[in-house]
Amino acid sequence: MLTQVAEGVLVHESEFLQSNSIVVLGRAGVLLIDPGITALEMGDLASDLRGLGRPVVAGFSTHPHWDHVLWHASFGVAPRYGTARCAASIRDVLANADWKERVAGALPPEYAKDIPMDLLGFITGLPTDVTQIPWDGPTVRIIEHQAHAAGHAALLIEERGVLVAGDMLSDILMPFLDLAAANPIEDYLDALRRLEGVAGGVDVVIPGHGSVSGADQLRVRIDQDRAYVEALRDGGDSGDPRVGPAAPLEWVPDAHRWQVQQLAHTREKS
């Protein structure tokens, strides 16, 4: 079911990790951001769009992880955009003959058989000098950074006061760093500064996973994510409730400990 969160901006929340698919209404159709997760959910989303009388005229993937590069035949053959780095990253995955097996290994077992993979990852990379999504609708500004994944992008729908954060600013997940990057902590802190730089014009923030929030929570989430990452850097305890005894998701504290261990190993090698 689509829920309107701002004028001309609607969200569908998946059962899997509260994954958010975003619909932005344009003149001739809609921009569809990070659609997912199961075939049934995407089919229902396509049905809702038909009910609105709005075809999909463009898609966008905020980053190249499997749950953000999905698609469904019912959405049609609209161009699916991402940053150049995002497109290159998923293209490298698809270049492997056994890519489906590799991706399948990362899928949540309880959803794996319901996740369509035939149209996964067909992303057109936008040139690095393109700062807006090319489509006939509200201006959607691309804020590229390297936190969480190569070529990650947040999207600012300026006319609607909406920030689509991708896999950042979640109320249920702590920051997941791109541990393959040369400087994952600095990359993440830089991304938070970029998001903070546009926060003054934001009324609604939509994370990739978790609850949609208003401007009051945007500052809270930026500060919370920064405190978590700085604690990783400094070896302290951020006191982040998302990784504590009352964590919203029971597996996240273990993921946090694993992330701490991986960063420690990296420091030992350097």
Q: Is 158 helix (H, G, I), strand (E, B) or coil?
A: helix
pLDDT at 93: 94
**Could you tell me which residues are beta bridge partners of residue 157?**
140, 162
Task: State the pLDDT confidence band at 146, using cuts at 50, 70 and 90.
Answer: very high
CA–CA gap between residue 200 and residue 239 (Å, rounded)? 27
CA–CA gap between residue 162 and residue 11 (Å, rounded)? 12
Reference 18, options 203, 156, 167, 151; nearest CA is: 167
> What CATH code is assigned to 3-269?
3.60.15.10
Task: State the pLDDT confidence band at 14, using cuts at 50, 70 and 90.
Answer: very high
pLDDT tens per residue, range 24-43: 999 989 999 999 999 999 99
pLDDT at 37: 94
Strands (DSSP E) along 132-200, which ranges? 140-145, 152-157, 162-166
CA–CA gap between residue 149 and residue 65 (Å, rounded)? 8
Question: Residue 241 CA to chain centroid, in angstroms?
Answer: 21
pLDDT at 1: 84
CA–CA gap between residue 230 and residue 213 (Å, rounded)? 24
User: Tokens 């994370």 appear where?
Assistant: 207
Instruction: Write a three-state SS string for 210-236.
Output: CCCEEHHHHHHHHHHHHHHHHHHHHCC
Task: State the pLDDT confidence band at 236, using cuts at 50, 70 and 90.
Answer: confident
First and final C-alpha spacing in the chain = 49
Task: State the pLDDT confidence band at 202, using cuts at 50, 70 and 90.
Answer: very high
Question: Residue 173 CA to chain centroid, in angstroms?
Answer: 12
pLDDT tens per residue, range 60-77: 999 999 999 999 999 999
pLDDT at 188: 98
CA–CA gap between residue 115 and residue 68 (Å, rounded)? 12
Buried-exposed string 55-66: b where 16+ CB fall within 10 A, e elsewhere: ebbbbbbbbbbb
Name the more confident of 253 and 270: 253
**Mean pLDDT along residues 8-16:** 96
- pLDDT of 270 above 90: no
Average pLDDT over the chain, rounded to whole?
95
* Measured CA distances, 149 to 49, 65, 68, 180, 195 (Å): 30, 8, 11, 9, 16
pLDDT at 24: 98
Residue ranges of domains in the chain: 3-269
- Percent of the chain having pLDDT more than 90? 93
pLDDT at 158: 94
- pLDDT of 5 above 90: yes
pLDDT tens per residue, range 207-225: 999 999 999 999 999 999 9
Question: Count of CB atoms within 10 A of residue 4's CB?
Answer: 11
111, two tokens: 């959803």
pLDDT tens per residue, range 99-122: 999 998 889 999 989 999 999 999
Task: State the pLDDT confidence band at 196, using cuts at 50, 70 and 90.
Answer: very high
pLDDT at 265: 85
